[in-house]
Structure 1
């Protein structure tokens, strides 16, 4: 839960991971790419990953108070980037009471990042880091779970796709919080909304990343008329920081799931290391970091990287 508004190589010992690193320093965390003509399913569409063999690092940044570029300042001792995916937290779903439609909204801090894409987005992409935009409710009654029909979901998906194209993003992340369903006369969550939304977005963005922060009404509404959200998205991860819980998203393999989640500013180093150990032992493909703030956290992050990759983290 937010505290504010807002196959894999299986290793039994960290030593064996480190040995592998020395032998294949340029190895990717996931070298699978979408082949030409390949269907856009959860297991076919992969991020073009960076770093060493092991789980991908996914990092949310609260851009209202922290610099997105911090994600690119952390590397492993061998030189690879620590994080594979950076997520801009967050854009919003607003509700236009005149048109009775959902609208994509950027506050001034998010807008600053997007409008200065060369500085914030492309600088990370040049290091191999994928950059996603998180989509969050805004207390106005509109959210990913209450589109009243397929056309409404498709219209909002088009707004998202347009933003990805305009700002050169690598994809969209969905977070079903703070919608306050029912406000402004809006409907309550329904079973078709999220499926319609991700289906439309996948059609518009066959080669981009779509992820789901496993929380909120959408987490219990993942299939409709035989179509599953897991067949349309790439990744899903646990939303409770300091805990280990596997998201129940049918259609996603272990490689596409992140049961471990930490808040860098509040989760203890010992807990972060324990969650990393569970991730490796159970062969899951994602480790989720939230709230990378300004400053130097390399010592803390080494608690995780030493377990996941057999190397400490360094800070540039």
Structure 2
């Protein structure tokens, strides 16, 4: 129990919302740990904005209707979360086009892309950028990928913000001299297999356990299984869990029950999570 109390003091939980509605975003701030009244989630990742383009050296940032509705029409709901202490990141994702995080870009193009993302974070007063290197028709260039990350971290307007990555089958990006671990501040492992062993390679690459989260999807893991997974994450000294797209699988009642099983594993068997409108 002493270990659980110690872990509870630093545990954080992240939620990804897939093409969320404004109400989905508002809901994140309404899940509270009953004994403290504090938010269950420390971070929200808005998934996703896109990287478009017909050539790797001319990428363009793109926002679909769901992202635009939040960032341009309902930014106040983001501010409400931030006022509660919840950090809000934006994820950038490939879009089945010839542009993306790890396309064969020049250093100049990679730097321009990284700086363009930072400018958007500043524009919308967000707390960070989450990397999802998928769905581009070009990919796999570790040098270009590293250069984009390096440009983001080197930008003075990004100081103090989060640069996270969706971790999955990406070992090529974690070796010298372009080791992404030297640029990332956090990582969310997204295999959804339930095993904390998926995080171990990233410790080997140089990331800290305190910067690593194991992904859980309500699509694949029941509430009781989620609790077991969260307990394993806790006992192995990792930071917390990442919940993928609960807005697609759970209503507010079942979500509170789902998160309760997680917080019981992190804090203790008497703890609960409540949805407070």
TM-score by length of 1: 0.77
1:126 paired with 2:83, answer: yes
Q: Specify the alignment match of 1:271 in structure 2.
A: 225
1:288 paired with 2:239, answer: no
Cα deviation per residue 1:28-66 (whole Å; 9 max; x = unaligned)?
Answer: x8xxxxxxxxxxxxxxxxxxxxxx514210100113456
Distance 1:301 1:63 in 2: 21
User: Shift of the alpha carbon at 1:265?
Assistant: 4.3
Find the residue that maps to 1:101 and give its secondary structure.
coil
The verdict on how the C-alpha distance between 1:132 and 1:309 changes in structure 2, with shifts beyond 3 A counting, is same
Q: Specify the alignment match of 2:206 in structure 1.
A: 251
Query: 4+ residue runs of structure 1 moved beyond 3 angstroms?
Result: 15-18
Aligned match for 1:157, one of 107, 114, 125: 114
Find the residue that maps to 1:59 and give its secondary structure.
strand
Larger helix share, 1 or 2: 2
Cα deviation per residue 1:51-98 (whole Å; 9 max; x = unaligned)?
Answer: x5142101001134562122111011121110000000100110145x
User: Shift of the alpha carbon at 1:239?
Assistant: 0.8
Distance 2:14 2:145 in 1: 22
TM-score by length of 2: 0.87
Conserved? CA contact 1:256–1:285, under 8 Å: yes
The verdict on how the C-alpha distance between 1:151 and 1:198 changes in structure 2, with shifts beyond 3 A counting, is same
Conserved? CA contact 2:234–2:240, under 8 Å: no
Conserved? CA contact 1:70–1:292, under 8 Å: no
Q: Give me the CA root mean square deviation.
A: 2.1
The verdict on how the C-alpha distance between 1:71 and 1:242 changes in structure 2, with shifts beyond 3 A counting, is farther
User: After the TM superposition, which residues 18-37 of structure 1 pair with which residues of structure 2 at under 5 Å, given as runs?
Assistant: none
User: Shift of the alpha carbon at 1:117?
Assistant: 5.0
Q: Specify the alignment match of 1:34 in structure 2.
A: none
1:302 paired with 2:260, answer: yes
1:221 paired with 2:181, answer: no
Conserved? CA contact 1:222–1:229, under 8 Å: yes
User: After the TM superposition, which residues 193-232 of structure 1 pair with which residues of structure 2 at under 5 Å, given as runs?
Assistant: 193-204=144-155, 205-215=158-168, 218-224=170-176, 226-232=177-183
Distance 1:90 1:221 in 2: 22
Aligned match for 1:111, one of 68, 76, 83: 68
Aligned match for 1:81, one of 39, 57, 61: 39
Q: Specify the alignment match of 1:46 in structure 2.
A: none
1:62 paired with 2:22, answer: no
5+ long unaligned stretches in structure 2? none
Distance 2:260 2:217 in 1: 14
Larger displacement relative to structure 2 (125-134 or 263-272): 263-272
The verdict on how the C-alpha distance between 1:17 and 1:138 changes in structure 2, with shifts beyond 3 A counting, is same
User: Shift of the alpha carbon at 1:170?
Assistant: 0.1
Larger displacement relative to structure 2 (244-253 or 52-61): 244-253
Find the residue that maps to 2:126 and give its secondary structure.
coil
5+ long unaligned stretches in structure 1? 1-12, 21-28, 30-51, 182-187
1:313 paired with 2:273, answer: yes
1:17 paired with 2:4, answer: yes
The verdict on how the C-alpha distance between 1:69 and 1:230 changes in structure 2, with shifts beyond 3 A counting, is same
